[in-house]
Amino acid sequence: MRLHVVNPNTTASMTAKIAAAARSVALPGTVIDARQPAMGPVSIEGFYDEAFAVPGMLGCIRDADRDGADAHIIACFDDTGLDAARAAAKAPVIGIGEAGFHMASLIAARFAVVTTLGVSIVPIEHNLKKYGLAERCARVRAAEVPVLALEERNTDALGKISAEITAAIRDDRAEAIVLGCAGMADLATELAATHGLPVVDGVAAAVTLAESLVRLGLTTSRLGPYAPPRPKTYSGPFSPFQPEA
């Protein structure tokens, strides 16, 4: 089985961290193919960054499809470009946000999300409503840690994330935590031990769910909004992305 894990931003160190987290939970025989776009933002923090990350990410998914990927994982907690990717890709596509929410809902009546910056709270809340899980989420909290600070172990990022988990348990009555950034993938085990509750990493959750889809032979339905895009001309720098006949 070949799983394509795409980091929609252009930071190579984060791609390597995500790949390591994916490989740590993958089944024997599962090959993790981790990629990142050559164009786009170095991190995704809010709606504006997300818009410029999508084209490069879709290019990675197109290329991985051609290389025989059995499933794709979008390793951005905002599920950047997920709907477009499902329409474009031949193989099934899972976002780590959606995967993390669903995994938490299986093990806790109430979970909380701890993300990076406050600007990400509303996009995550929008997705929770879209996925029908808003009522299960006690609160989306921000540790006010820039995404790239997660790449530097000498910052106080871990302490700030841990403090938000403490507050979520105390004030929100959270029974599980979903880490709201792919850059937090290496923190889940440590934080779970510290706080004594399940801490869900969306990358790991997405890998296990993607493997399940492939093993069950399930692919994206083409009836409805995920039907392949109609062939048409795309102009200017977007011409390489125009739908094929």
The CATH number corresponding to 2-96+204-241 among 3.40.720.10, 3.40.50.12500, 3.40.50.970, 3.40.50.2300 equals 3.40.50.12500
Give me the sign of the Cα torsion angle 53, 61, 131, 199. negative
Contact 47, 123 (CB under 8 A): yes
What are the strands of the beta sheet with 2-6, ordered from one edge?
A: 31-35, 2-6, 71-74, 93-95
Those residues with Cβ within 8 angstroms of residue 204's Cβ, 6 or more apart along the chain or in another chain: 21, 22, 24, 25, 185, 188
Tokens representing 101?
């929410």
DSSP the chain: -EEEEE-SS--HHHHHHHHHHHHHHSPTTPEEEEE--SSS-SS--SHHHHHHHHHHHHHHHHHHHHTT-SEEEE--TT-TTHHHHHHH-SS-EEEHHHHHHHHHHTT-SSEEEEES-GGGHHHHHHHHHHTT-GGGEEEEEE----GGGGG-TTSSHHHHHHHHHHHHHHHS--SEEEEE-GGGGGGHHHHHHHHTS-EEEHHHHHHHHHHHHHHHT-----SSTTSPPPP----GGGGGGSPP-
Residue pLDDT tens, the chain, 245 long = 999 999 999 999 999 999 999 999 999 999 999 999 999 999 998 899 999 999 999 999 999 999 999 999 999 999 999 999 999 999 999 999 999 999 999 999 999 999 999 999 999 999 999 999 999 999 999 999 888 778 776 668 889 999 999 999 999 999 999 999 988 888 899 999 999 999 999 999 999 999 999 999 999 999 999 999 999 898 988 888 888 76
Place of tokens 């999300």: 113
Which pLDDT belongs to residue 154?
61
Which pLDDT belongs to residue 121?
95
Q: Where in the chain is the domain with CATH 3.40.50.12500?
A: 2-96+204-241, 98-201
Which pLDDT belongs to residue 244?
78
CATH topology classification for 98-201? Rossmann fold (3.40.50)
Contact 88, 62 (CB under 8 A): yes
Cα–Cα distances in angstroms (integers) from residue 166 to residues 140, 182, 230, in the given order: 13, 21, 49
